[in-house]
Amino acid sequence: MISTKDIKNIAKARLKDAEVLAASRRFEGAIYLCGYAVELGLKARVCKTLKWPGFPGSTKEFQGYQSFKTHNLDILLHLTGIEDKIKTKLLADWSVVAAWDPESRYNPLGNVSVSDVQQMISSTKSLLAKL
């Protein structure tokens, strides 16, 4: 089991990694890591909502909890119990982040603009602050 505290720390670290990549003009990698930062933030919030000490980390721990073993941000947001709050107060930020897909790691390089990555980093920061 991965403790909630560790999940939050990893989420913050991935956001910092994304900022470093963005500063180095590695925009695709920055956006990719922002998505994972939000995923981890959502998983930490699921733990808080369900009063779990941590999130399942192994196949054995996921037995019976397969719906939690996802990278789908919309599903994870739904599981947090604060979906309405996020979609009401942070809809613009959620809309930016919700477009993320872990399969983006296969996208060709050069299709992400400076403004795209700045918006993703800003939206990621806003969401992590509220999760």
CA torsion, ordered 41, 42, 48, 52, to nearest 10 deg: -100
Confidence at residue 105, expressed as pLDDT on a 0 to 100 scale: 80
Whether the CA torsion 44, 50, 53, 56 is positive or negative: it is negative
pTM listed for this prediction: 0.93
Per-residue model confidence (pLDDT) at position 115: 96
Q: For position 107, what pLDDT does the model report?
A: 81
Count CB-CB contacts under 10 A for residue 115.
Answer: 9
Domain positions in the chain: 2-130
Shortest CA distance to 103 belongs to which of 28, 41, 50? 28
Q: What is residue 35's predicted lDDT score, i.e. its pLDDT? A: 97
The predicted pLDDT at position 62 comes to: 79
10-residue mean pLDDT series, the chain (131 residues): 94 98 96 97 95 88 79 95 96 96 84 95 97 94
Tell me the CATH number of domain 2-130, given options 1.20.120.330, 1.10.579.10, 2.40.30.10, 3.30.70.3270.
1.20.120.330
CA distance 69 to 59: 9
Tokens for 95, please give them.
């809309």
